[in-house]
Structures are given as C-alpha cells and as structure tokens.
C-alpha cells in the first residue's frame, strides 16, 4: 500500500478553496467523549463528540480542541500547532510514555502526547472538519449541481483503493455518499466536486449508481490489552472499474466508514437565522 502524504491547512485550502467558517462550526458543535482506545469510538460517533484516546480528563480534551479551533481559524501549520500545544500538555503531565493504572487496578505502559500523536490529531481533525464544511456547501447547491464526482490525487502517494473511484460520478442523493465522502483514511487527500447538468454534458461524464456494487464487511481492528476485548469496525467496499475497464475495489479504512458533518448544513442554517 502506498504511504499517504501528509496534509496541512495550506494544502487543504488550495485543494478545496474553503473558508474555515463551516469547518470551525463542525468542530465546535461536538461534545466530548473520554476513550482509552481509538477503536472505542468510530465512524458517525465522531460527528457528535471530540475525543483523543487516553486523554482521560475533560480539561485536557478542551485544551486540545481549542488549539485545533485556533489552527483552523488562523491557518496554523502543524509546526505552529505543536509549538503551541506541546508545552500545555507537558504542564498537564500528558506527555511521553507513562505507566497508567486504570479503574480496575491494571497497569499499562502507554504513549500519551508526542510529536507524532499531535501530527495525527492535527491532520485527522482538520481534514474531517474541512470536508464536513465542503459537504454542507455542496448539499446547499444540490438543486443546481446534483452530481458529485469523486476526485483522488493521482500520484505515487495515492492509495490504489482510493484511486479506484477517481472520476466516478454519483448523484448527490446516492446512498454511497453516506459512507465514502472523504476523508476515507488517515491522511486521505481525496475530495468531491459538484457538477451541473451542463458540466456533465460538456465533459461527457457518465453517471453511475451504487446499486448492487456496495458491500459492508466487519473487520477486526485491534484488541484491548487490559480486557482482551476484540474491537471490530464496519468497512464499506465498492466494486467498480478503472480507466481501462479493469475490475477494482474501493475500500474505506476502519474508523472512516461515514460522511463527516451529518446535519451540519441544518446547523449552519439555524445559526444564520439566529444571527
């Protein structure tokens, strides 16, 4: 599998042409959830709550999310985000490898804050927020631009699975978008563009339907070292063909089996009316 290329806010703005308003609204709309393993909260649950695995205090989660909100608002780079947040986390004792004792008395050596973890937190949350904002805008324009095209960055860093859907066009109300709207994995650079009827004809694009081509499988995604519990996740797969007509399969990564920002368009409408 190709290694995904990191993404930063400048890249996202250049690719998607987005202002951060809707992205910030998406991040601010979430509550908080305390989790030990990332596998405890998957897919749509991330629309309702912000979480960082092993950040076991609300004040800690609040500090991390506030830094993410500032990064969105001010267009901060990963380097700036890390420089701002690392001293805060170190002061709170949430840094490096530590032996943590859980409520049942079991002890486990775990990785808390680190530059690598901050990179994952930064990239995953900013990508999801930008994509939630983009989806809300596209839903608003669905009357005039009802066709949505999946676009992958077709270079050596692109996952073959994600490249499989590059250029495919589905209607905005095709149920496939409930699961495959990007990001579809860590550091996913895919996006979706909306098209009018005239654009479809001008570019001679073919509309396809997901009917009969989609399956959902349950896969194992890890084991809780403390309890032995096996975590599972739903994974959507789409049977399609590449540019040469060869059968290929698109697959989301575990934990990304949803479209970010469900209900965000309605939330933004309510905010506008209240303003």
| Cα distances (angstroms) measured from residue 46 to each of 14, 169, 188, 203, 213 | 25, 27, 17, 36, 26
Q: Residue 15's pLDDT is what?
A: 42
Nearest to 197 by CA among 228, 169, 156, 227: 169
Q: Residue 196's pLDDT is what?
A: 96
Query: Given the structure tokens 């076991």, which residue do they identify?
Result: 56
Show contacts of 195-201: CB within 8 Å, 24+ apart: 195/145, 195/147, 195/148, 195/149, 195/169, 196/144, 196/145, 196/146, 196/147, 197/146, 197/147, 199/145, 199/147, 200/147, 200/169
Q: Residue 200's pLDDT is what?
A: 97
Q: Residue 112's pLDDT is what?
A: 94
Q: Residue 19's pLDDT is what?
A: 53
Buried b (16+ CB within 10 A) or exposed e, 136-158: bbbbeeeeebbbbbbbbbeeeeb
The pTM for the full model equals 0.82
Q: What is the mean pLDDT of each run of 10 residues along the chain (275 residues)?
A: 47 50 87 88 87 91 94 90 96 92 74 93 90 90 96 86 92 96 89 95 96 95 86 94 87 92 74 68
Burial of 39 (0-12, 13-18, 19+ CB in 10 A): buried
Cross-strand pairs, 230: 223
Element housing 27 (H / E): helix 21-28
Q: Are 265 and 232 in contact (CB under 8 A)?
A: no
């Amino acid at each position: 599998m190709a290694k995904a290329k990191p993404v930063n806010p400048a890249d996202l703005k250049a690719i998607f042409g987005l202002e951060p308003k809707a992205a910030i609204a998406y991040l601010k709309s979430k509550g908080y959830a305390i989790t030990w393993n990332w596998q405890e909260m998957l897919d749509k649950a991330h629309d309702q709550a912000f979480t960082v695995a092993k950040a076991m205090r609300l004040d800690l989660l609040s500090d991390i999310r506030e830094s993410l909100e500032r990064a969105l608002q001010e267009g901060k780079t990963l380097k700036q985000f890390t420089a701002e947040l690392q001293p805060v986390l170190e002061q709170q004792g949430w840094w490096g490898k530590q032996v943590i004792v859980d409520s049942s008395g079991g002890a486990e050596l775990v990785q808390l804050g680190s530059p690598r973890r901050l990179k994952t937190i930064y990239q995953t949350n900013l990508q999801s927020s930008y994509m939630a904002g983009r989806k809300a805008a596209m839903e608003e324009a669905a009357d005039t631009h009802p066709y949505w095209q999946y676009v992958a960055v077709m270079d050596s860093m692109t996952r073959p699975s994600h490249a499989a859907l590059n250029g495919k066009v589905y209607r905005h109300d095709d149920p496939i978008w409930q699961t495959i709207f990007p990001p579809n994995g860590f550091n996913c650079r895919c996006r979706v563009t909306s098209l009018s009827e005239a654009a479809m004809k001008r570019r001679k694009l073919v509309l396809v339907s997901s009917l009969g081509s989609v399956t959902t499988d349950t896969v194992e995604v890890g084991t809780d070292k403390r309890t032995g519990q096996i975590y599972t996740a739903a994974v959507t797969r789409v049977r399609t063909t590449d540019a040469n007509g060869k059968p290929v399969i698109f697959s989301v990564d575990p934990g990304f089996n949803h479209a970010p920002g469900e209900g965000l368009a309605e939330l933004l409408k309510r905010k506008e009316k209240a303003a």
